[in-house]
Structure 1
Amino acid sequence: MSASGPLAGRTIVVTRPQAQAAPLAEAIAAAGGNPLIFPLLEIAPASDPQPLADAVNRLADYALAVFISPNAVDHALPAIIERGSWPTTLLPAAVGQGTVRALAAHGVTGCIAPTERFDSEALLELAALADERVAGRRVAIFRGDGGRELLADTLRERGATVDCVTCYRRSGPSAGLAPLLSAWREGRLDALTVSSSEGLRYLVDRLDDEGRAFLQATPLFVPHFRIAENARALGLSNIILTAAADAGILAGLGAYNWPK
């Protein structure tokens, strides 16, 4: 760990799923901080593989394939590639730039995605998803279990036929909270970064009164206003809303007025 930098001496918890945690953790370390990787969500293949298999078999029937997250790419693309090449008539779309990069790593390019806000609302503002572009066409949304229905519902309102394809499932962490509680009790946990409302709910639900008091006193850096709203609904108040994605979180950490 570097002895200097804007985060020197600060232990910052990275709560992204294990497969997506490394870039932010490495950036924190490069800024002098001590990243503590503690995923709040565990990702596994969907309980029922048939919907993904069905979507892969009729992939050429779709005009648009939307991937909600890098996890959706990681769990859908191997099945797609195993069956054959990406259809030339199929336009890939993503909610965030991390998902764009995940698609590119599998050889899928030409993906459309928002460039500033990374959510369903921003994706729906793109010209490629306008009424006249999707009406009468078939759309596949590759996603995890549950989640918001805004994207699917809006595309249906615009005249598209939408298939929501669950290709992975999320669950709370199976590991105990001992690493977090130990760091808190030893006074060496300075902040948490949280990019999932669902993951934050898992954490709050599993903490006892002592743990919740620690969490309430700890700065919580979140990259989207909806996560901030959900954090407040869970009773938290020490919330710092940053710009989007890892870059926004890192900028927020660097600009924070840390106690001496």
Structure 2
Amino acid sequence: MTEPPATGSGPLRNCGVLVTRPAHQASGLCQRIGLLGGRSISFPVLEITAPKDSRPLEDSVAQLDDFDIAIFISANAVEHALACILAQRDWPVAVRIAVIGRRSAEALESFGLQADICPQEHFNSEGLLEQEALQDVAGQQVLIFRGNGGREYLADSLRERGATVQYVEAYQRSRPAESSTSLVKAWRSGKIDIVQVNSIESLENLFAMLDDEGRALLRDTPLLVVSERMLPVVERMGFTQPPVLAANATDDAVLDALCTWHG
């Protein structure tokens, strides 16, 4: 658990935000919360590592030219897949790249690539499937880079439209083994006003990592979520405060939602 200092003034003054993103993706948001006068506590509830079996990812390097479209399901998929692929070859110009949202598009740019297909809003599988380039994919070969597990909706929908779809596991998601003792102590002392969570899996991991006292504190604390899909899950888990919905998972959207809520 890390707790960067706040600046003491700004629209998030005296607001304590629990940031649950993976460690390597939390620092930018935490710094910006501090610059806006808030107090962030970083407690990663997802650990991102290499896949248990790296052979499918390694095999995809030589097979890329056989595909029409490659879809990266997250920024983590971009970073892990392209680090492997571009170390061995250039990206084939004939293979169009699709991403779920802006964070993935920004990750692509760090590798010198641009997304051909990206939603302008609704940064999820549904939003991607609305794109004109994915309406008529009959006979096309589609490769999806993702983590272990996850929703089947995107692949199933593309198959219904006539595409042949193959998955490649580019990274592994797991629940960290970190103790929540210090976190619960900070919570008990009033340092946490709102909890940022990016996914249902993140929320379930956080719940599992807390003790009974921590779970009770969590249920009484507002959640900031980035997808409407999370709303019924929050309700089922017995939260007493209405969740705050950010437009998407980007830092800008999360900060806008925080400032509006705290304002």
- After superposition, give the CA deviation of every residue in 1:40-76 in whole Å (9 maximum; x if it has no partner): 1001111011111121110011110000111101110
In the alignment, the residues of structure 2 paired with residue 235 and residue 111 of structure 1 have an alpha-carbon distance, to the nearest angstrom, of 41
Structure 2 residue aligned with 1:254 = 259
- After superposition, give the CA deviation of every residue in 1:17-37 in whole Å (9 maximum; x if it has no partner): 112112221221121011111
Structure 2 residue aligned with 1:216 = 219
In the alignment, the residues of structure 1 paired with residue 240 and residue 140 of structure 2 have an alpha-carbon distance, to the nearest angstrom, of 44
Is 1:79 aligned to 2:84, yes or no?
Answer: yes
In the alignment, the residues of structure 2 paired with residue 100 and residue 257 of structure 1 have an alpha-carbon distance, to the nearest angstrom, of 29
Is 1:233 aligned to 2:236, yes or no?
Answer: yes
Letter in 1 for 2:248: A
Structure 2 residue aligned with 1:128 = 133
Stretches of 4+ moved more than 3 A in 1? none
In the alignment, the residues of structure 1 paired with residue 98 and residue 182 of structure 2 have an alpha-carbon distance, to the nearest angstrom, of 37
TM-score, length-scaled by structure 2:
0.93
Structure 1 residue aligned with 2:203 = 200
Is 1:147 aligned to 2:147, yes or no?
Answer: no
RMSD of aligned alpha carbons: 1.3
Structure 1 residue aligned with 2:190 = 187
Letter in 2 for 1:125: E
User: What aligned pairs does 1:83-162 form with structure 2 within 5 A after superposition?
Assistant: 83-131=88-136, 134-162=137-165
- After superposition, give the CA deviation of every residue in 1:210-233 in whole Å (9 maximum; x if it has no partner): 111111111111111112222222
1:169 is displaced (CA, Å) by 1.0
Structure 1 residue aligned with 2:12 = 7
Q: Identity rate of aligned residues, in percent?
A: 45
- After superposition, give the CA deviation of every residue in 1:154-212 in whole Å (9 maximum; x if it has no partner): 11111111111111111112211123212112121111111111011011123232111
Contact 2:221/2:240, CA 8 A, preserved across alignment: no
In the alignment, the residues of structure 2 paired with residue 257 and residue 48 of structure 1 have an alpha-carbon distance, to the nearest angstrom, of 44
Q: Which deviates more, 41-50 or 238-247?
A: 238-247
Letter in 2 for 1:172: R
1:257 is displaced (CA, Å) by 4.6
1:241 is displaced (CA, Å) by 1.7
